[in-house]
Structure 1
Amino acid sequence: MYKDLIIIGAGPAGLSAAAVAAAQGLQVAIIDEFPEPGGRMLGQFHQEPGKGMWVGKQIAEQLIGTVRSLGGTICCGISVYGLLKLDDKWEVSTSKGCMISRFVLLATGAAEAPVLIPGWTLPGVLSIGAVQVLTNVHYVKPGHRGMIIGMNMLAMAITSELAASGVSLSCMVLPASPLAGKAGNPVANLTALMTLSHLAPTSWMRWGGQLAGRLRLSGHAVALLPRRGIKAWGIPLLLRTAAVSINGRNEVESVTLVDLDRHGKPIAGSQREEKVDFVALAGGLYPLAELASVAGCPFVDIEELGGHVPLHNERLQTPVDGLYVAGNITGVESAQVAMAQGQLAAISICSACGLVGSEADDQLTAAIHHVNHVRSTSLIQFHPGIQQARNKLYRMMEGGEQLE
């Protein structure tokens, strides 16, 4: 099968790119290993200030309808395991055979990296993303009463969704693991939560978080936090408590907790058990970029982008001719940013095809400005300083900074 553009990943970036490219007349196919398109958008929803409820499933359905109405092909349940450049064409090896295209756009998204603690193999232990899919996509509650281990942007965003969906959660705690790093440190977590004050459910919490952030009070504030924690969406956030182990014979029955001092050290004699029947492990996200490596694309490691990302420029071109990237493979951000990046990547590809004509530069400039605007106004901000990190990445692509 030949297509002008093959997009790998049917999430927000891939679907948005397909809609723009197909509208410009390109023959487009999207490949995704999941049984239906939409990616993680299918389980996402949140309140946008002044704009009402943003419901990912509705956005996905609109994009899917647009792509199909413009003649785009969406192939689900198919895995891609190979990318090979042959002259001016790409050979894309899939579980259903080989496909040929002039351009490839990688929109593979991100994967979870949960921090593991003893007992993590018990039935009833899931990643927080799996809990989100189970609850918001399949409408199945993960259990009667659960606990979230780990505090980060992903955990906070999904916790708000679970609370709205009626999932019973006893609390959110830190992981007690030698592998946890900053994730197990109360000061580091409080500092990170201060950057998320815009997500707080009450005005006083938003104001307090902003004030504390400006005054850099996180180190002193930890000592003042009550042992019972602070509540968000009715769920206690226990910044001075960590999970030591998950317990149970054949399934999750409880979690052993311990109180921490401000430095994250366990306090002797404070261990206790909390009865729960499921646990959600929240360790954050990293770009899912293996296919870029298979295609021969160089990588850079930038913490603010979530780890190793394929080298690319502001137009989302990689150094490999005909290979483009968009969405969380370029750095972990929100679905809205991924959608804007998908549109930019499609315009960039159409420009390379000569379809945009004399307006190419203007359209590309407008699309870049749109990505930056969506990023700066996005409710979901995974890492501070992401725009500065991206500027550094673009300078690397241009040869202005050393590759790491």
Structure 2
Amino acid sequence: MNTFYDLIVVGAGPAGLAAACSAAQAGLKVLLLDEFMKPGGRLLGQLHQEPGGAWWNGIREAELLVLGARNAGAHIQTGVSVTGLNRTSDNSWTIWTNQGCYHAPFVLLATGAAESANPLPGWTLPGVMSIGAAQVMTNVQRVRVGNRGVVIGMSVLAMAIVSELRLAGINLAAIVLPPGNALSGNASDPEAVLGSLLRFADLAPSAMLKYGAKLLQSSMLRKLALTFFPKQGIRMLDVPLQLRRCAIEIVGRDAVEGVLIADVTARGEPIAGSERIVEADFVCIAGGLYPLAELAAVAGCPFRYVPELGGHVPVHGENMQTPLPGLYVAGNITGVESAKVAIAQGTVAGLSIAINAAAKKAPGEAEVKDAMAQVKRTRSEALIQFHPDIARSRAKLYQTEIV
């Protein structure tokens, strides 16, 4: 295969679909590649109720984005794995896939994010999965992950997916902290976890949790609250949220049979003699997300380490352009945020590429600036904020203009 396009987008998630739509509308010949059997990316597993009462249905949102991209003229190919890309002597990019090579002067990487591992003894037993895998199995593949589970980890993402699992009628025995180790970091610190959970307290199912969160803004009050936090936890979505207990080991002979947990001090240190087993037939590990940026590294793109964005991110400007000619990035590859932010970033990338490609219906600079402003508005209004310093970290990243 030796097919030439104006733009090749890698990743048919929210960012990639939005970019393909805006670029194709400008008159570019666009190819969108994704290794999954259906376009939509992480949208396919999302389902939650927003503060105003409306439901965010990721499958429906994906359908609308796919329809928009196809109506604009973009060609979508699924089941295609991209294995590499390199800049050629004719100032174009060669994309290597399991179905042959493609060529284009412009490439957008919208590969999203992956889940971080947070290993503990027993994590290789059948029935142990990442929290994202449970989301996909439940909401996309319509497979019941088990009868009674334990969630290890209390991130914003984990709590959102717990809500979805409960909507599907899945029984969860407890949500506990991970064991303290070099990989878990602050995820095993009760005070740090409580501080992160307070950022989305407005989504709490009870008025007590909502108003109580407003009283715990200072570190001193959080420490005091943890001292009196019940060991058995408080029920959230009818699941015990146990900030004063951590997982020690996942137990079972041929599959998951339970989780050995222990009480912890307010500093997250296990209390000897408090160990007990919680019976379960599946375990979800919530280790957080990081940008899936291997292809950017293969292409030779420089990186910066920004913890607030999830780790190492490709260097890029606010117009989503990297320092490499013709290479752009958008969505969670640039830092972990919500799907709505990814959609807004994808629109910016598509418009920016259309201008640089001198497309027949290329937008004006004012339209691109409006799209950039929309990214900031969307970020400020996002239902789920993965980190409180995202906006500031973005601004710092964009201080160096990419030309």
Distance 1:397 1:171 in 2: 47
2:228 is the alignment partner of 1:260: no
- Map 1:97-108; keep pairs closer than 5 Å: 97-108=100-111
Distance 2:388 2:299 in 1: 30
2:235 is the alignment partner of 1:231: yes
Structure-2 residue corresponding to 1:185:
189
Structure-2 residue corresponding to 1:85:
87
2:147 is the alignment partner of 1:175: no
Structure-1 residue corresponding to 2:378:
374
Structure-1 residue corresponding to 2:60:
58
Which shifted more, 312-321 or 73-82? 73-82
1:396 Cα offset (Å): 3.8
Distance 2:345 2:283 in 1: 34
- What SS does the corresponding residue of 2:352 show, helix, strand or coil? helix
Structure-2 residue corresponding to 1:402:
none
Structure-1 residue corresponding to 2:391:
387
Query: Contact 2:351–2:362 at 8 Å: present in 1 too?
Result: no
- Map 1:316-327; keep pairs closer than 5 Å: 316-327=320-331
Q: 1:334-353: per-residue Cα shift (whole Å, max 9, x none)?
A: 11110111011101111112
- Map 1:154-303; keep pairs closer than 5 Å: 154-178=157-181, 179-213=183-217, 217-303=221-307
Equivalent AA in structure 2 for residue 150 of structure 1: G
Structure-2 residue corresponding to 1:73:
75
- What SS does the corresponding residue of 2:215 show, helix, strand or coil? helix
Query: Contact 1:115–1:281 at 8 Å: present in 2 too?
Result: yes
Cα distance 1:398–1:77, how it changes in 2: closer, same or farther (>3 A)?
closer
1:182 Cα offset (Å): 0.9
Q: 1:74-106: per-residue Cα shift (whole Å, max 9, x none)?
A: 111111111111232111111110100110000
Distance 2:173 2:299 in 1: 45
1:216 Cα offset (Å): 5.4
2:123 to 112, 120, 125: 120
Equivalent AA in structure 1 for residue 234 of structure 2: I
1:326 Cα offset (Å): 0.3
Distance 2:217 2:79 in 1: 45
Q: 1:103-135: per-residue Cα shift (whole Å, max 9, x none)?
A: 000000000003111000000000000000000
2:101 is the alignment partner of 1:94: no
Equivalent AA in structure 2 for residue 21 of structure 1: A
Cα distance 1:119–1:257, how it changes in 2: closer, same or farther (>3 A)?
same
- What SS does the corresponding residue of 2:126 show, helix, strand or coil? coil
Query: Contact 1:21–1:28 at 8 Å: present in 2 too?
Result: yes
Structure-1 residue corresponding to 2:332:
328
After the TM superposition, list the runs of 4 or more consecutive aligned residues in structure 1 that deviate by more than 3 angstroms: 355-359, 396-399
1:168 Cα offset (Å): 0.6
Q: 1:301-349: per-residue Cα shift (whole Å, max 9, x none)?
A: 0000000000001111100010000000000001111011101110111
Distance 2:337 2:293 in 1: 15
Distance 1:180 1:102 in 2: 41
Cα distance 1:138–1:268, how it changes in 2: closer, same or farther (>3 A)?
same
Equivalent AA in structure 1 for residue 60 of structure 2: Q
- What SS does the corresponding residue of 1:212 show, helix, strand or coil? coil
Distance 1:10 1:43 in 2: 14
Structure-2 residue corresponding to 1:15:
17
- What SS does the corresponding residue of 1:257 show, helix, strand or coil? strand
Distance 2:362 2:71 in 1: 27
Cα distance 1:359–1:10, how it changes in 2: closer, same or farther (>3 A)?
closer
Distance 1:378 1:356 in 2: 34
Query: Contact 1:117–1:177 at 8 Å: present in 2 too?
Result: no
2:143 to 134, 140, 144: 140
Cα distance 1:228–1:246, how it changes in 2: closer, same or farther (>3 A)?
same
1:250 Cα offset (Å): 0.2
Distance 2:180 2:215 in 1: 31
Structure-2 residue corresponding to 1:337:
341
Which shifted more, 210-219 or 193-202? 210-219
Cα distance 1:313–1:356, how it changes in 2: closer, same or farther (>3 A)?
farther
Cα distance 1:237–1:297, how it changes in 2: closer, same or farther (>3 A)?
same
1:214 Cα offset (Å): 5.3
Q: 1:345-398: per-residue Cα shift (whole Å, max 9, x none)?
A: 101111112338795221011001100001000101111110100111111456
- What SS does the corresponding residue of 1:118 show, helix, strand or coil? coil
The RMSD of aligned alpha carbons is 1.5
Distance 1:337 1:358 in 2: 23
Distance 1:358 1:214 in 2: 50
Equivalent AA in structure 1 for residue 350 of structure 2: A
Distance 1:267 1:26 in 2: 62
Equivalent AA in structure 1 for residue 16 of structure 2: G
- What SS does the corresponding residue of 1:382 show, helix, strand or coil? coil
Query: Contact 2:355–2:362 at 8 Å: present in 1 too?
Result: no
Distance 1:216 1:56 in 2: 39
* Count of paired positions: 399
Cα distance 1:215–1:281, how it changes in 2: closer, same or farther (>3 A)?
closer
1:199 Cα offset (Å): 2.1
Equivalent AA in structure 2 for residue 310 of structure 1: P
Distance 2:361 2:70 in 1: 25
1:71 Cα offset (Å): 2.2
Query: Contact 1:195–1:213 at 8 Å: present in 2 too?
Result: no
